[in-house]
Structures are given as C-alpha cells and as structure tokens.
C-alpha cells in the first residue's frame, strides 16, 4: 500500500523541530508540564462525576462550583499530610521509586503531536515538543521504564503486600507490553514511519488507501484500516495502566493497596499522578496512532476548510482523548476485577496469538496488493493462505473441560505423603464429625449395627 506522505502547508516534519529556538522549546516544555497537571486534576474529577452518574449517586459537589475544585483541594492536601516510612524500608530506593514513575509519565508526552505548524511569538513551530524518527519507540520505552518505579516501590517498602503487588505488576507488564508492541507493528507497516508526526500525516483525510487484492477504498484513519490492532491496543492499554478490571497489582481486596501500601503524603501523590498521566498518555497515543491524531473528522473538514489550521486541532485532539478516557472510566464502573490466572492466560493465549496472525495476514495482503503476485498466482495464493488460516483455527488445540469429580475422588488422587490441599472445585469436604454422623446413620438405615463406627 502506498501512502502519500507529502506534507501539507500546516503539517510538521522532522526538520520543523530542528529550527525551533531554545526559548520556544522552553515555553512548550513548561506549557506541557502545566497542561498535564491540569489534565490530571480534570481527569480525576471527570472520573468521579462519571462513576457517580453511573452508580446513581451524588458525586463531588461541595468544593468549588459543583465540586470541580475537589481534585485541586486533594492535590494541595496530600503534600502536607504526615509521611510515615517503615523501619525496614530501603530509604534511598523508597524515595527514588515514585520519582521514576512520575518522570517517565511526563517524558512520554514529549513526542505526542497536538497540532500542526502555528505561529508562536513570530516564530513558526509545531504544537509538539519534539519528534524523532523513532518516536513510537520512545513512548514504548517510557511505558516500559515506568514499571521499574512500581517494582522498586514494592521491594523497597520491606513489606509483604507491596512486594506481591510489585511482582504482579512486573508479570503484567511483560504480558501486555508484548501485545501492545505487536499491535503497533501494523501501524508501522501501514504508515511507513515510526515518527508520530508522520503517522498523523499518513492518516490525512482526503487520502484514502486501498487494502487487499480487491481495491477496497477505506478512510484515512488507521482505526478503519487496522481495527484488530486498535482493539488489541485498547485492551493492552487498560492492562498496562493497571486500571480496572486489570488493576491486580493494587487489588484492595487482596493486597490492601498493592505496591504503594506503605507510601503516604507526597510520595503517594506522585504514584497517583503517574497513574492518571499514564491514562492520558495511552489515550493520546491511541489517538495519534489510530484516530487521525489532531485532525478533525472528515464530516467537519468537508464543511470547514480551516478546521485543521491554527490552534483548532487542539480541540479535536483532546475531544478524542476525553472519549477514550470515558472508556477507561466506563470499564471501571461496570466490570469486576479479573482473576489473576485468567488475566495472564488472556494476555498470552489470546491477545498475542491473534496479533501475530493479524500481522501475517496484513503482510500477505500488502504483498499481493503491491504487485509481487499477478494473475492466477494471486488468487491461488490467496485461497491457499485463507485455507491454512481456516484449518489452523479449526484444529487449534483447545483446553478440554475436565470431568467433575467428587470430593472423595479428588482427595484419593493426591500423591502419597502430600500435604492436604483444598479440592479443585473449591468445595469444602465434610468435617470428621459430619462423617461420623453419616456413618452412624447409614447402618441403621440398612438394618446394620447402629453401634458401628466404621466409615
């Protein structure tokens, strides 16, 4: 598939960022930091309002106009609360862990494009802090590094529950980071670049592309062209950010608070800040990769030619981000927390295999559409490929449903000398007193000796 990457008048390129003067970069850096703080306060209040509406109960309504300053008051209160550090904690690592989580969360936003080229104080600059040829890898690296803050926090606390939460988080990161990375491979293949600004340019409205052996014209957004990758990315993003129903590293019912159980005051606020910034980051990243980035939807651009010029792209970008954030909140308000083995099985046995099959299918379609196969060979190879996919899907080994066994059979199947374990179906066997009572009644019922104690 050939995607035209010729830049429009307002589209930034990698050379655009080389011409920025230092004080323009400093202004964008400070503006990005302040914007993330404001977005965090808004997202917390947004979540409280939405969850309250879904649960049919009052939300925050006391501090500020209709409670909109509640998050600000919480943010001002946390640094002044008493800080309690465990005696068994490693003081240095205990301090560094929340700093790592917050720093990586802020750094990831540096390569997210918010708009095209604008005039700022007489200088032409892009509404993006910076861009490099491998910007997507920078985002993935920041996402991977953030788990170090979680793991070190659990280890340095010197407590059992934080350590268990940290171990869960490391396993969760390995599982869902792989699925997230594979879902982005299809975007690289389609856009032909790892630069975030060029990926947005590749989704330009008015440049539809064709996919497959038959010329099927699809809209420019990768959401329409790469729907399986989009769905897998969204699921992986929820698991990557430890959000419900995948918030197993900080499961309150099992681990008190998870990796940050022993944290308080400002250090706890840093973890809280990092979690919500990560939510905003993965939503902005999804907008950039699949939803056209800062570009307005096609119906708006057909009516209004200047929709993608000036500072208007900020409106379209954050509208898409808020819609994705609503999805995070919706999941938290509706779905229960998954069991850990189900969660890990879903990541390794469902998301990753489906992603690999989709990448192979997309590669095959690109080869056919690129003209490497022509005439009958194209249709024969297409039929053989999809025949193999159908056969593999039909013969894919599935886990057989085990037969239900009685409690006595489960106990009898234990190896000799093994420790007693609960039965697999979580049924509690009868107590010895209940067994003796049953044995006493059984002989009398069949005419036997009522004094017999034999089971």
More confident residue, 3 or 415: 415
Task: Give how far the C-alpha of residue 229 lies from the chain's centroid of Cα atoms, to the nearest Å.
Answer: 13
Contact predicate 152/167, CB 8 Å: no
Structure pTM? Answer: 0.79
Q: Is residue 103 part of a domain?
A: yes
- Residue range of the domain that includes 318: 84-114+131-393
What's the confidence (pLDDT) of residue 199?
A: 92
Whether 93 shows a pLDDT value over 70: the answer reads: yes
What's the confidence (pLDDT) of residue 429?
A: 62
Q: Is residue 386 part of a domain?
A: yes
Whether 15 shows a pLDDT value over 70: the answer reads: yes
More confident residue, 261 or 36: 36
DSSP per residue over 203-249, as a string? T-TT--EEETTTTEEE-SSHHHH-HHHHHHHHHHHHHHTT-TTS-GG
Q: Is residue 59 part of a domain?
A: no
Give Cβ neighbours of residue 438 (< 8 Å, ≥ 6 apart): 430
What's the confidence (pLDDT) of residue 229?
A: 92
What's the confidence (pLDDT) of residue 86?
A: 86
Q: Is residue 203 part of a domain?
A: yes
Q: Is 119 helix (H, G, I), strand (E, B) or coil?
A: strand
Average pLDDT over residues 424-451: 62
Measured CA to CA, the distance from residue 100 to residue 360 in angstroms comes to: 37
Q: Is residue 260 part of a domain?
A: yes
In the chain, how many domains are there? 1
What's the confidence (pLDDT) of residue 323?
A: 94
Whether 216 shows a pLDDT value over 50: the answer reads: no
Q: Is residue 53 part of a domain?
A: no
More confident residue, 455 or 429: 429
Which range has the worst mean pLDDT, 59-73, 206-220, 223-237? 206-220
Measuring CA to CA, how many Å separate 154 from each of 204, 262, 340?
44, 9, 18
Measured CA to CA, the distance from residue 319 to residue 295 in angstroms comes to: 11
Measured CA to CA, the distance from residue 11 to residue 198 in angstroms comes to: 9
More confident residue, 383 or 405: 383
Q: Is residue 262 part of a domain?
A: yes
Average pLDDT over residues 258-283: 88
H/E segment holding residue 126: strand 123-126
pLDDT band, residue 38 (cuts 50/70/90)? very high
Average pLDDT over residues 80-101: 88
Which range has the worst mean pLDDT, 49-53, 355-359, 418-422? 418-422
More confident residue, 271 or 446: 271
What's the confidence (pLDDT) of residue 442?
A: 63
Q: Is residue 378 part of a domain?
A: yes
pLDDT band, residue 325 (cuts 50/70/90)? very high
């Amino acid at each position: 598939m050939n995607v035209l990457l010729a830049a429009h008048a307002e589209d930034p390129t990698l050379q655009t960022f080389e011409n920025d003067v230092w004080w323009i970069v400093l202004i964008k850096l400070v503006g990005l930091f302040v914007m993330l703080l404001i977005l965090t306060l808004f997202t917390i209040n947004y979540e409280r309002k939405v969850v309250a509406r879904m649960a049919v109960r009052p939300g925050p309504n006391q501090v500020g106009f209709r409670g909109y300053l509640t998050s600000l008051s919480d943010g001002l209160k946390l640094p002044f609360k008493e800080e309690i550090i465990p005696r068994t904690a490693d003081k240095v690592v205990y301090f560094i862990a929340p700093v790592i989580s917050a720093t990586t969360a802020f750094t990831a936003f540096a390569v997210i494009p918010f708009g095209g080229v604008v005039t700022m104080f007489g200088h032409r600059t892009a509404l993006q802090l910076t861009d490099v040829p491998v910007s997507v890898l920078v985002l993935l690296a920041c996402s991977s590094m953030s788990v170090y803050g979680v793991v070190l926090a659990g280890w340095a606390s010197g407590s059992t529950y934080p350590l268990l939460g940290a171990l869960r988080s490391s396993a969760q990161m390995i599982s869902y980071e792989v699925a997230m990375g594979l879902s982005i491979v299809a975007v690289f293949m389609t856009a032909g670049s790892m630069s975030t600004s060029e990926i947005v340019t590749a989704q330009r409205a008015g440049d539809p592309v064709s996919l497959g052996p038959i010329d099927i014209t699809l809209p420019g957004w990768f959401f329409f062209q790469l729907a399986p990758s989009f769905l897998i990315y969204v699921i992986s993003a929820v698991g990557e950010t430890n959000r419900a129903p995948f918030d197993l590293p900080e499961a309150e019912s099992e681990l008190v608070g998870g990796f940050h159980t022993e944290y308080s005051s400002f250090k706890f606020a840093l973890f809280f800040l990092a979690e919500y910034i990560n939510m905003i980051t993965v939503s902005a990243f999804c907008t950039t990769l699949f939803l056209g980035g800062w570009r307005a939807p096609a119906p708006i651009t057909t009516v209004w030619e200047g929709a993608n010029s000036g500072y208007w792209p900020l409106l379209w970008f954050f509208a898409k981000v808020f819609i994705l954030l609503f999805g995070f909140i919706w999941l938290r308000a509706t779905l229960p927390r998954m069991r850990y083995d189900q969660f890990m099985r879903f990541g390794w046995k469902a998301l990753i295999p489906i992603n690999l099959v989709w990448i192979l299918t997309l590669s095959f379609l690109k080869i056919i559409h690129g003209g490497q196969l022509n005439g009958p060979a194209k249709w024969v190879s297409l039929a053989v490929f999809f025949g193999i996919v159908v056969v593999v899907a039909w013969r894919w080994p599935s886990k057989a449903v085990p037969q239900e066994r009685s409690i006595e059979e489960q106990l009898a199947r234990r190896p000799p000398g093994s420790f007693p374990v609960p039965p697999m179906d979580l049924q509690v066997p009868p107590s010895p007193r209940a067994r003796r009572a049953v044995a006493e009644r059984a002989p009398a019922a069949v005419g036997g000796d009522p004094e017999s104690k034999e089971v």
